[in-house]
Chains A and B, each alone.
Chain A
Amino acid sequence: DQQVKQNSPSLSVQEGRISILNCDYTNSMFDYFLWYKKYPAEGPTFLISISSIKDKNEDGRFTVFLNKSAKHLSLHIVPSQPGDSAVYFCSGGSNYKLTFGKGTLLTVNP
């Protein structure tokens, strides 16, 4: 049972444009959601989070939106930069435990 789904394995955007990464979840018990970024041969690093009681959280170029009724969240990166090219993992959290999606490979072309 895949509790967190990232249905787009990859996404390619031009530098300066917006990147939108999507995530769906099935577990209503998640209290919070975190996005992680992963470069090759490195561990995932925390990017941005959102509580289940919020619908938006913004941090610089990164904004996460949560639609609880649709069990859907999205990560917006504006403007996208070549250094943003990485695998992005969506995760749902409860009891200090994270459940991850399969990830989306973002490629930002110069």
Chain B
Amino acid sequence: EAGVAQSPRYKIIEKRQSVAFWCNPISGHATLYWYQQILGQGPKLLIQFQNNGVVDDSQLPKDRFSAERLKGVDSTLKIQPAKLEDSAVYLCASSLATGTNEKLFFGSGTQLSVL
């Protein structure tokens, strides 16, 4: 079974530039998540999709971050303009979200460095 695919693996940009990350979840997984992991911290949820609808985006800095999930499959996360404090690993995850103890499957992440 193919896992969660993310690209690019690494990205270096200057502050005030824009950047986009792409995620392809596990086939059949209805729920998709974007997490931000700053060095030394645990992953923090940015946005949760159920199919192509947003379930929770309460921690997404909406003045600069946006995300979409077209046709309920692939998703993109965009930052515009980037700030120094956005340097982090951006993790995409997916789950079936049908049972209890529902586990999330994570991709390898995109490491973003903002200079």
The chain A residues found within 8 Å of chain B, CB to CB, are 4, 6, 31-32, 34, 36, 41-46, 49-51, 89, 91, 93, 95-103
Contact = CB atoms under 8 A, between A and B. Distances in A.
B51 interface: no
B106 A44 contact: yes
A99 B106 contact: no
A41 to B, nearest CB: 7
B45 interface: yes
Nearest to A31: B100
A97 B4 CA distance: 17
Given A96-B31, A96-B95, A102 B44 contact: no
Contacts of B4: 43
B42 A89 contact: yes
B56 A46 contact: no
Contacts of B91: 43-44
Which residue, of B33, B42, B105, has the highest number of chain A Cβ atoms within 10 A?
A: B42
Nearest to A2: B42
A42 B108 contact: yes
B25 interface: no
Contact of A102 (B31, B41, B48, B100): B41
A26 to B, nearest CB: 14
Given A34-B101, A49-B101, A41 B106 contact: no
A36 to B, nearest CB: 8
A6 B48 CA distance: 24
CB-CB nearest 10 A-B residue pairs:
A43-B106, A100-B42, A96-B97, A49-B101, A46-B103, A32-B101, A102-B42, A100-B43, A43-B108, A44-B106
A103 B56 CA distance: 24
